[in-house]
Structure 1
Amino acid sequence: MKFKRQLTEEVNVNLTPLIDVVFLLLIFFMVSTTFTKETHLKIDLPQASAEPVDAELLVIDIAITADGQFSVNEQPLVNTQLDTLKRAITQAARNKKELPVMISADAQAPHQAVVTAMDAAGQLGFVELSITTRNPSRESESR
């Protein structure tokens, strides 16, 4: 007796649904991730009494440590002289005077260092200046 041979189908695994799920997970994690600004300098910011302001994408960030040392866009300066600070701001701005200048001073930083940073920005023609603070913690509000 001769049996008719059945044709065997090639077995395939359909990866399309798996790829769809992987892309959905990728999109979910990209959307739900929070980004934080990391700095190399330890700065204890003073507490804020106003509402937070949206951060700009292109800013000149001047950080001032507790001992009065300057850093422009996370690049530490060699000294605290006004001319050095002005040169660093000019290099960071690349002739864009409309960029906002953000000063992040430690709560223990000398006031003269903050005034020097404000003077340098003003002398170079920057008009949009902001000073960053931190929100008060819940513990200090309950006291």
Structure 2
Amino acid sequence: MKFRQRPHDEPEINLIAFIDVLLVVLIFLMMSTTYSKFTELQITLPTAEAEALKERPREVLVSVSADGRYMVNRELVDGRAPELLAVALRQASGGNAEAMVIVSADAAAAHQSVVNVMDAARRAGLSRLTFTAQTQGR
């Protein structure tokens, strides 16, 4: 009796399941990794004991409340029209065209209120404008 030998089949490795597992691990690592930013230079800044300036003559502080009222250098502006605000900005800057307008707008303030401040600064001849913000930790 002669038995036939079967041909030996090479075992196959299923790569699809292996790739699926690797992709899941990769996604998990990407989602759970925190990225930190490290500075290249560790420096210690110099300190000073000088008293802070009480007034800044080249800065005009404009505050915009949530309901659209304006304050220029901590003085309430009567009315909400850009023309009235431009007059108040002109007086606060003292005619100095290089004065910096610092806008502190409430997060709930209307976009139009902030645009009115920018328009009033343009009418007053003040071209330097910046906005304040606070960090999330505060």
What is the TM-score normalised by the length of structure 1? 0.56
Query: 2:88 matched to 1:88?
Result: yes
Q: What is the aligned-residue identity percentage?
A: 33
Mapped partners of 1:32, 1:73: distance in 2: 24
> 1:128-143 maps to which residues of 2 (within 5 A)?
128-137=128-137
Q: Note if 1:72 corresponds to 2:90.
A: no
Q: Tell me, in whole angstroms, the C-alpha distance in 2 between the residues paired with 1:79 and 1:111.
A: 17
The answer to whether 1:97 aligns with 2:97 is yes
Partner SS for 1:31: coil
Letter in 2 for 1:104: S
Give CA deviations for 1:60-115 in whole Å, capped at 9, x if unaligned: 11100010100000000111011110110011011101011110000000110000
Q: Which has the higher contact order (CA 8 A, sep 6+)?
A: 1
* Equivalent residue pairs, number: 89
Q: Deviations over 1:94-139 (max 9, x none)?
A: 110101111000000011000000011012221110011101118x
The 1:81/1:136 distance shift into structure 2, 3 A limit, reads same
Aligned match for 2:49, one of 25, 31, 55: 31
Amino acid at match of 1:117: V
The structure whose Rg is larger is 2
Structure 2: tracts of 5 or more residues without a match: 1-47
